[in-house]
Structure 1
Amino acid sequence: MKNIQHLIALPCIFLTLLSCGIYTVSPSALGNVKTIAIPLFDNQSTESGLREQLSDRLSQAFVTDNTLKVVPEQQADGILRGSVISYSREPYTYSKSEVVSEYKSVIGVKVEFVNRRSQKVIWEEANMSNWGTYDAVSETENDGKSRAIDKLVEDILNKTVKGW
């Protein structure tokens, strides 16, 4: 009986260890792209300051991620270009007395990632958006904008380096 348990346990342990391989992300779409430039985004919205915040946060995120090295445009294999195309603020939640308790800041962007050498578009999104909320009493609209930018940065980074 003990031998049968060992015979069953050994293959299970082996299969478990085998499934614990190293997970790496290397999307084939990146090909030989090892460096990236992130020029200042355009602003087609009526809200000032968003393009600078988004471009800066994207650069910081790519430096932290370290999958692609951030370099000047002339040295880059890939270029991440974009435009802030919309910004809106709208009520998100209301109190029992029908007073706004939270607002929602929504930022829309157009983004493309291009192989600089071949000029081929690796990926593009004509209308990528995300949002962040902020408390109407204890926070400011900038808090909502910042949360929306954080989510957009994560979306753009994942789409670029992980292909999601």
Structure 2
Amino acid sequence: MRMNAHKTLWLALAIGLTLWGCGYQMAGRGASQLPPHLKTIAIPVFENSSAEPALQRPFTEALRRAFITDGRLRLVNDQNRADLVMTGTLTKYWIRAVAFNSLDVAIEYWVYLEADVRVEDRVQNRTYLKQKLQTRWDYLADDSVVSSEASRQEALVQTYRVLSQRLVSLVNDKF
């Protein structure tokens, strides 16, 4: 039994050294691909031109949290003190039934969200990023309106999270 523990330890050490030697690192952590003059970002509340009201504030908060969690750019409130300013518009929101039971009642839906985003480099006075992004998340519905609405809200939170993480990667890593 002790021999297996030693083998496991040596194997883990060998894998760790191999990954370290290759320069492997987790995406979203460590060195940034950002130019050195970019240290701060401001993210004013996004606009909302979709048919669904009140999406912009929770999305913007999720986006801000994603940048704070990532930590490579410091979030600032004042656009005049920011190296980068991210603005955007939530352009589309829809729900589509994608699965039905034997009575033709919808039991699974997609929540779809699309955003147009622009990031301005205020230091060099140029557009740093201009991108249209979209994502969808599925959720299950049941006979209860309350639980189905809770599932829809959770799916919407997940779309915010996915779009936010994608934007963090696009800004910091250029992919």
Query: For residue 163 of structure 1, what is the aligned residue in structure 2?
Result: 174
2:61 aligned to which of 51, 56, 79: 56
| Residue correspondences, number | 149
**Displaced runs of 4 or more, over 6 A:** none
Query: For residue 51 of structure 2, what is the aligned residue in structure 1?
Result: 46
Contact 1:133-1:147 at 8 Å conserved across structures: no
Cα deviation code 1:29-71 (max 9, x no counterpart) = x441110000110111121111101111111111111000001
- Deviation for aligned residue 1:84: 0.5
Distance 1:80 1:45 in 2: 19
Q: Report which of the two structures shows the higher radius of gyration computed on alpha carbons.
A: 1
Query: For residue 5 of structure 1, what is the aligned residue in structure 2?
Result: none
- Deviation for aligned residue 1:20: 4.3
Identity across matched positions, percent: 25
- Deviation for aligned residue 1:96: 3.6
Gap runs ≥5 in structure 2: 1-13
Counterpart AA for 1:48: P
2:80 aligned to which of 74, 77, 80: 74
- Deviation for aligned residue 1:18: 6.7
- Deviation for aligned residue 1:22: 6.1
Contact 1:43-1:85 at 8 Å conserved across structures: yes
Alignment TM-score, normalising by the size of structure 1: 0.81
The 5 Å alignment of 1:13-162 reads: 16=18, 19-21=21-23, 23=25, 24-28=30-34, 30-71=35-76, 72-125=78-131, 127-137=132-142, 138-140=147-149, 141-162=152-173
Counterpart AA for 1:139: S
RMSD: 2.0
Gap runs ≥5 in structure 1: 1-12
Query: For residue 8 of structure 1, what is the aligned residue in structure 2?
Result: none
Counterpart AA for 2:148: E
Cα deviation code 1:85-138 (max 9, x no counterpart) = 11111012222443211111101100011101222111111x310011121124
